[in-house]
Amino acid sequence: MKTGHGLNDDAPMQESIPSLPRMTRRSLLAIAVATILSGCTKPAAIEALDLDWHDLLPPGAVDPGQVLRGRIEHADASRAQQLVQSAGVRADLDGKTVRLPGFVVPLDYDGTGLSSFLLVPFVGACVHVPPPPPNQIVYVTSEEPVESRRLFDAVVVTGVIQSARESTELAESGYRLAAIQVATHEP
């Protein structure tokens, strides 16, 4: 029996919809599945060399962690001088993609996020006197603003490292890191 709309009421619903070519239906199905799955997958992991702060020290350098075990008093110039003398960098890391955990000392804001910051090995670095040696401070830049809620946020930064001195109002760094990814970190 025909209705006034030209559709057969006895026919299954599929026949009442104009059919698409088989290839088009498959393409639409593939796009739909890919769209659904894209929200369920993690972003691809970035291959990087995992570093710790002692990895930034050149061979034979004084480990600042040993020197900084206690508080350095303002008058204790000998300890501060030891740190400055151990400020060499590792040029063999230049151009490598690395991953380094640390704490954020904000420098430049771009809108609601940071476009540059210092990455330091411990809370309080660069705010207390003296700052760590340059080989224990990394100047980080990011094309995409990095959200930072407070001073000394714990993060892990992945990016391309270069041994290059950078002077800021707070401290001098021995490395620059062009951030690819900045993630929160639980120290």
118: Cα separation from own chain's centroid = 13
pLDDT digits (tens, 9 = 90+) for 40-78: 334 457 899 999 999 999 988 776 655 555 555 545 545
Residue 95 vs residue 42, higher pLDDT = 95
> CB neighbours (10 Å) of residue 182?
24
Domains present along the chain, CATH in parentheses = 1-41 (no CATH), 49-184 (2.40.50.870)
Q: What is the pLDDT of residues 122-157, one digit of tens each?
A: 888 777 667 889 999 999 999 998 887 777 899 999
| Side chain identity, residue 108 | D
For the entire predicted model, the pTM comes to 0.67
